Structure 1
Amino acid sequence: MNPADHDAPASTMPTHGDLTQRYGASLMGVFGAPGLVLERGEGAVVRDVEGREYLDLLAGIAVNVLGHAHPALVAAVSEQAAKLIHVSNFFTTRPQIELAERLVAASGGDADTRVFFCNSGAEANEAAFKLARRTARPGVVVADGGFHGRTLGALSLTSKQAYREPFEPLVPGVTRVPYHDVEALRAAVDDTVGAVILEPIQGEAGVIEASPEYLRAAREVTRERGALLIIDEVQTGVARTGEWFGFQTIAPEVMPDAITLAKGLGGGVPIGALVTFGAASTMFEAGQHGSTFGGNPLACAAGVAVMRTIEDERLREQARRLGEHLVAAVENLDDERVVTVRGRGLLRGIVLRDPLAQRVVVRAREAGFIINATGPDVIRLAPPLVITGEQIDTFVAALPGLLDAAETEENAS
C-alpha cells in the first residue's frame, strides 16, 4: 500500500495506526516503533497526522534551533533549491564560503582557522578522529559517558558499551577516563596520544556539564604533551547553551585545536562541520579526506539562514534568559521529587529522585509535550530557541501531574 496520502480526502487519510504499520513493514527496526507520526509544525509546536498538537521540547534532539517552518529557513532552502542543490566538491558556491566565514568568526578563530563540511555529527567526529591520526600518534583519549556517534570510528569513541559491543572489535587505541577527573586525564595523555576528544556538556549521559577548571586542565595537559584538544559541539553548538559554542559558555578563554558541529547548524537540514584552529588546519593534505555531499549549497544556505537568524533575533541571549527561566520555574515548584536542573541555556536535564523518567516521557506525550529521557532518572529538554517563556511555563505547570501519573503507573506495575 502506497497511496498518495496528500491527495486523499480527510475521511480516508491514513491514521497513526495505519502509518506505523506501514513503517514497520518497510523500515529497519533500528529505532523501534515510532511514538508519533508527525505531519507539520510551526515554531515550537508540532501536529501529528490525526491533528493533535504537541509542544516540542526536544527539537529533533537539539536540531531544530529555529523551530518548525521558520520563514527565514523556509525561504533560504526554497530559494537555493531553485538555483543549485548540489555541485560536488570539484566546485564551490557562495553559501559554502559564507557559512565557513560565519563559523570562523563565531568560533573566535583567526586567519589560520579552517572549516570542513560534512553531513552529520558522526561524520564530523570521524573527520576529527582522522585528524588525530595525522599527529602520527595512534592514541585517543575520551571520557566515560561521552557520545560521539554510531559510525564505526565514532562508535569507537562513544562510551556506552551496549552500543559498541555488537560491533567489536572497533578501532583500537581509544582510552576512556572518568569525565571531569583531571588526574585521570593527566595520567592517560602520554606521547602515544594524538588527541583528547571531550564534550563540554555530555547530553546523552544526562546533561552533565564540565567545569571551567576541567576544560582548562584539558587544554593545559594536551598542550604540554603535544596532543590535540578536540571539543565535540555537536549537541552544544549553534547557540544551544547561550553562546555559539558550549566551550565559550563554560571557559571562553580555552581555545581548542578543533571543534565538531552538526545538529542545530542546518536547523533540520543535514549538515556537519569540523572547524580547525592554528596548526591543526594544515594537517589534512589534499585528497586525505572528503565528502560527496559535504558543503552542498542547499545545506549551506540553510546554515547561513540559521546563523543569520540567531543573530537577528538575538537567540543566544534568549537561550540564556529562557534557560534561567526554566530552572527558576522548576525550582519554584518545590517538588521533592525533582532533585536539580542541570545544563546551560536551553540544554537542560531535570534530575528526578526516582527512576521514573521514561514513564514521564510517555505521560508527557499523552498530555501534549515532547521530551526525552537520557537515563532512568533524567529528563532532557532541548527545545527550539524560538520557544517562549509562556510555552515553557505550560510544561513546568504540568510536571507535577506527570510525575503523579508516572508514580501511579510505577506503583501499579
Structure 2
Amino acid sequence: MSAPSYGERYAASLMNTFGPPKLTLARGAGAHVWDTDGKEYVDLLGGIAVNALGHAHPALVSAVTEQMSTLGHVSNFFATTPQITLAERLVSLLGHGPGKVFFTNSGTEAVEAGFKLSRRTGRTHVVAMEGGFHGRSMGALALTSKDAYRTPFEPLPGHVTFVPYGDAEALAAAVTDETAAVLLEPIQGEAGVVVPPEGYLVAARETCSRHGALLWVDEIQTGTGRTGLWFEHLRSGVVPDVVTLAKGLAGGFPIGACIALGAAADLLQPGNHGTTFGGNPVACAAALAVLDTIEAEGLLEHVTVLGQKIRDGLAADPRVVEVRGEGLLIGLDLSTDVSAEVAAAALDAGFIVNNPTPARIRLAPPLVLTADDADAFLQAWPGILDAATGEGS
C-alpha cells in the first residue's frame, strides 16, 4: 500500500476552508518557488502581495534570525526597540504629521482595530465600498461587501452602508453627520485590481471632512511599495485619518498595523483594545528589514518601471480587453470567462497567477521580480492564452 499523497494528507488533517491546494511547495528563492516534485515556478502572486522581497531574502532571514536569538517575544506590558522604531518609521513614511500605530498580526486584525477605533468617535455608521475586501473575521466581514462571504454568518455587527466603488456622488449621498468612517481601498485588490477615477480620493476626503467622519484608507494590499509608492493614497495628495497595513509589510512574517493620524490617534485608550503577539520584536525587525531593503535596492523605481513593462506586454494580446493597476499590482480583463483555465495553463507553464473573478487575472509578484522573469512570462503569455482557450492546438 502506497503512502498517502500530500493532497490526501492535507484533506485529512486541515479544515476545508480553502479547497484542495493547487501545489505543495517545498522551497523558494527570490521570485521562484519549487514544489515537492522539484518543478520550478515563477511566483507572480507573491503569497497574495505578501512576499515583498520574494523568498529567502538574506536581509529578511538575517533580521529574523538575529532578533529571535536576542529577544523573541515580550508582552505588551513592555516595549521593545524594534516596535518603537517601526512605529516611528511608518508614521514618517506616511508624511502626514503626528500619528500613532497599533500593531497586529494580520490585515484582518488591523481592520478590526480600525473598526473599533471608529466606534470611539461616538458614532456607529460606516460607509464601505461594493467590491471591497477587508477580511473574514466578524467585524472585518461586516465591512466586506461580497454576499457569498457574508450570508452564512449574518447577522453581522455594525451599521454599514455599501456604495459603488469610484462613484463620488453615491459616496457623498451615503455619508451623514452620523457617519463614523468611510472605508475604501485606493485600488481594490480582491475585486481584480480596480482603479478608481481621477479625483475620487479627493472627493472622499472632502465628503468626510464636511460631515466630521474619518477617512479610513485600507492599504493592506497596496501599501509598502507595492504600487511604486510607499502608500498608494499618496498619489492623490489626500491625508486620511486612518491607514491599515499588512501583507507585504514584513515580507511574509505575520504583521499588521492600524495607523491613526491627528486627533484620531488618541481615540483608543487603555482597555479599549489589545493583542498578545501584535508588535512583537521579531515581526517588527522583519518589517524594518523590508523597509530598509526597499530603500537600499531602489525597489520603488524598479516596481514602477517593471510594472509598466508588464502591463504593456499583457495588453498587446487582443484577448486581453483591459489592463489596470500601478507598479506590481496588476489586473486584467479577458475577452471571455476563462480566467480559471488561464491560471491552470500558467501553472503548467511554470507561472503562478491568480484568477479573482471569471474573466480577471491578478498579478502581485515580489517587488524583487527581475526583468528576465518578467520577459519570460510575457513570452509565454500568448501560449498560455492559447492553451486556456483551445486556440493554436
Give 1:166's aligned residue. Answer: 152
CA contact (8 A) 1:208 1:342 kept: yes
Aligned partners of 1:179, 1:387: CA distance in 2, in Å?
A: 30
After superposing on structure 2, the runs of 4+ consecutive aligned residues of structure 1 that deviate more than 3 Å are: none
SS at structure 2 position matched to 1:31: coil
Map Cα deviations across residues 263-298 of structure 1 (whole Å, 9 max, x no partner): 000100000000111000011111211111000001
Aligned partners of 2:9, 2:311: CA distance in 1, in Å?
A: 41
Give 2:67's aligned residue. Answer: 80
The one-letter code matched in structure 2 to 1:374 is P
Give 2:181's aligned residue. Answer: 195
Aligned partners of 2:383, 2:217: CA distance in 1, in Å?
A: 38
Select the residue among 117, 137, 141 that pairs with 1:131.
117
Q: How far did 1:241 drift?
A: 0.4
Aligned partners of 2:16, 2:326: CA distance in 1, in Å?
A: 34
The one-letter code matched in structure 1 to 2:390 is T
Aligned partners of 1:403, 1:27: CA distance in 2, in Å?
A: 33
The one-letter code matched in structure 2 to 1:360 is V
Q: How far did 1:109 drift?
A: 3.1
CA contact (8 A) 1:144 1:159 kept: yes
Select the residue among 321, 344, 349 that pairs with 2:305.
321
Give 1:8's aligned residue. Answer: none
Aligned partners of 2:186, 2:275: CA distance in 1, in Å?
A: 27
Count residues with an aligned counterpart.
392
Aligned partners of 2:361, 2:185: CA distance in 1, in Å?
A: 19
Select the residue among 44, 47, 56 that pairs with 2:34.
47
Matched, 1:96 2:78: no
SS at structure 2 position matched to 1:209: coil
SS at structure 1 position matched to 2:229: coil
Structure-to-structure mapping, 1:153-302, within 5 angstroms: 153-249=139-235, 251=236, 253-302=237-286
SS at structure 1 position matched to 2:292: helix
The one-letter code matched in structure 2 to 1:221 is T
Matched, 1:26 2:26: no
CA contact (8 A) 1:137 1:191 kept: no
The one-letter code matched in structure 2 to 1:255 is V
Matched, 1:38 2:25: yes
Q: Percent identity?
A: 57
The one-letter code matched in structure 2 to 1:184 is A
Give ranges in structure 2 of 5+ residues lacking alignment. none
Aligned partners of 1:245, 1:322: CA distance in 2, in Å?
A: 18
Aligned partners of 2:213, 2:146: CA distance in 1, in Å?
A: 24
Map Cα deviations across residues 62-94 of structure 1 (whole Å, 9 max, x no partner): 000000000000000011111111101010111
User: TM-score under structure 2 normalisation?
Assistant: 0.98
Select the residue among 338, 342, 367 that pairs with 1:360.
342
Q: How far did 1:340 drift?
A: 1.8
SS at structure 1 position matched to 2:87: helix
Q: How far did 1:102 drift?
A: 1.0
Q: How far did 1:336 drift?
A: 1.4
SS at structure 2 position matched to 1:29: coil
The answer to which of 395-404 and 296-305 deviates more is: 395-404
Aligned partners of 1:159, 1:389: CA distance in 2, in Å?
A: 37
Select the residue among 299, 312, 315 that pairs with 2:296.
312
The one-letter code matched in structure 2 to 1:241 is T
Aligned partners of 2:332, 2:264: CA distance in 1, in Å?
A: 37
Aligned partners of 1:71, 1:28: CA distance in 2, in Å?
A: 33
Q: How far did 1:105 drift?
A: 0.9
Give ranges in structure 1 of 5+ residues lacking alignment. 1-11
The one-letter code matched in structure 2 to 1:277 is L
